[in-house]
Amino acid sequence: MSLPVRCLVLFVVSSVCTIGGPVRAQQKPAPAVPEKTIAIRAGHLIDGKSDKALDNVLIVIKGDTIVSVAPNGTPPAGIEIIDLSKATILPGFIDTHTHVLLNGDITAEDYDKQLLKDSIPYRAILGARNARIALENGFTSIRDLETEGAMYADVDVKKAIANGEVPGPRMQVATRAMTPTGMYPLLGYSWELKVPTGVQYADGVDGARKAVREQIMYGADWIKYYSDRKYHFEADGVLHSMVNFTDEEAKAIVDETHRLGKKVAAHAIGSDGIAAALRAGVDTIEHGDGLTESEMDEMVKRGVYWVPTIIVGAYVAPGRGGNWTKMVDLEKAAFQKAANKGVKIALGTDAGGFDWKEINAAREFQYYADYGMSPIQAIRTGTSVAAELLGWQEKLGTVEPGKWADLVAVSGDPLKDITELQRVKFVMKAGVVYKNDIH
């Protein structure tokens, strides 16, 4: 009922109601935000554009949108003022690789247990809790990259947040992800048992196209597929892998997804899996530990984003053993080369691969700085670059007039100490304050 009303109002006010209107309205934060005007006094502002922080800035917000950002500005008379004059404000963080339906999977048992013992409704309840944790840590938008056997429950978590029923970041979701038959858990159970699978199995060109159509029908904003598995080092020192889909199948996934106006994320860890994903024409490479220099050059040329998810590799390595520790070191070297070559690196953590309650995903910023980025570069991976990856750069990623009022604040100076980003004290999403521990 609300969509036609919203549509009508928009039409009267600004004539922007088009056939695409209701779809876009779903993406917008739906909580009924009163169109009141408030102002924030920011001691310092890292606006996401400038290399330096600006001092003593007044940010004026109307409804869910920033209307002005003025150094030494004076607030309009009679409006509510939030005093953050002792804090540093930044754009809301964006995590471009999460799993709200997952709660840590260092071992196969951790993973199987969740799919076998927890119902999808129970997992969705935890998903809502995880979304709240993300928001409280400063992540006002996330791209959730598959439900790990929880079917389309990410669409429901997104809907509950968008309708204002539970607090959480605005979401883009990938629903079920896909591999060919037998190339993703749960595996190893008796053939007499019907066990759930962590992805949708899709085989052949027609099967791949149909799976894409089905997932988009049920609400996928992105299509994700697993390009490879079985990661191993060979004598050339390169991390190799076994490629899952034939080139024809992978190209069909990408072609069908693009034809329907969506984008594709490929899980690709070994150099073979990355090469196959690039041949298929994907939009983002997830993990990418085994990136070679020629693959980096290809990504620069085609504008493909890399989402490194360093935090999860470092977290699972001790528990998984094998090649995983060596892969963390390899990825560090790849990160430094890719950053120098100008690969578009967007912050993503794989939260859910580690327990949401144990680790603050903003730790990922610290890895990027430790790996050689300046603090401002690291901040951009999780703000303006990530906003571009989502296609929301007109509305997110920087603090500027016309953008959604998604802001976080910290007490210290993150340009001097990047770990400040793990101590977010204030969170605003779409003009609504969800956390304010600044006194």
Of 88 and 381, which CB lies nearer to Zn ion in the complex structure? 381
With b for 16 or more beta-carbon neighbours within 10 A and e for fewer, the 329-342 pattern comes to ebbbebbeebbeee
Under 8 Å between Cβ of 261 and 302: no
Q: How far is CA 362 from CA 90, 231, 299, 366, 410, in A?
A: 13, 27, 25, 8, 12
Of 240 and 287, which CB lies nearer to Zn ion in the complex structure? 287
- For residue 173, which amino acid is it? V
Of 295 and 350, which CB lies nearer to Zn ion in the complex structure? 350
Under 8 Å between Cβ of 97 and 141: no
Total residues contacting Zn ion by CB under 5 A comes to 1
Burial (CB < 10 A; 0-12, 13-18, 19+), residue 37, is middle
Q: Does residue 406 interact with Zn ion by CB under 5 A?
A: no
- Rounded to a whole number of angstroms, the minimum distance from the CB of residue 289 to Zn ion is 13
- Rounded to a whole number of angstroms, the minimum distance from the CB of residue 436 to Zn ion is 31
- Rounded to a whole number of angstroms, the minimum distance from the CB of residue 141 to Zn ion is 17
- Rounded to a whole number of angstroms, the minimum distance from the CB of residue 340 to Zn ion is 26
- Rounded to a whole number of angstroms, the minimum distance from the CB of residue 203 to Zn ion is 22
**Secondary structure E strands in 333-412:** 344-345, 407-410
Strand order in the sheet with 170-173: 93-98, 139-144, 170-173
Under 8 Å between Cβ of 194 and 149: no
Of 224 and 425, which CB lies nearer to Zn ion in the complex structure? 224
Of 59 and 126, which CB lies nearer to Zn ion in the complex structure? 126
- Rounded to a whole number of angstroms, the minimum distance from the CB of residue 352 to Zn ion is 7
Of 184 and 434, which CB lies nearer to Zn ion in the complex structure? 184
Question: Which residues in the 259-278 window bind Zn ion by CB under 5 A?
Answer: none
Q: Which stretch binds Zn ion (CB under 5 A): 63-71, 347-355, 366-374, 412-420?
A: 347-355
- Rounded to a whole number of angstroms, the minimum distance from the CB of residue 123 to Zn ion is 15
Question: Which residues in the 110-149 window bind Zn ion by CB under 5 A?
Answer: none
- What is the DSSP annotation of 22-52? HHHHHHS--S-----EEEEEEEEE--SSSSS
Structure tokens at 14: 């600004």
Q: Quick check: helix, strand or coil at residue 156?
A: helix
- Rounded to a whole number of angstroms, the minimum distance from the CB of residue 28 to Zn ion is 26
Q: Which stretch binds Zn ion (CB under 5 A): 7-15, 42-50, 154-162, 343-351?
A: 343-351
Of 97 and 435, which CB lies nearer to Zn ion in the complex structure? 97
Under 8 Å between Cβ of 391 and 142: no
Of 271 and 349, which CB lies nearer to Zn ion in the complex structure? 349
Question: Which residues in the 348-387 window bind Zn ion by CB under 5 A?
Answer: 350
Q: Which stretch binds Zn ion (CB under 5 A): 1-9, 103-111, 209-217, 344-352?
A: 344-352
Residue nearest to Zn ion (CB): 350
For helices 120-136 and 153-162, give the axis angle rounded to 10 degrees.
Answer: 50
Q: Which residues contact 162 (CB under 8 A, 6 or more apart)?
A: 26, 27, 28, 29, 30, 170, 171
Q: Which residues bind Zn ion (CB under 5 A)?
A: 350
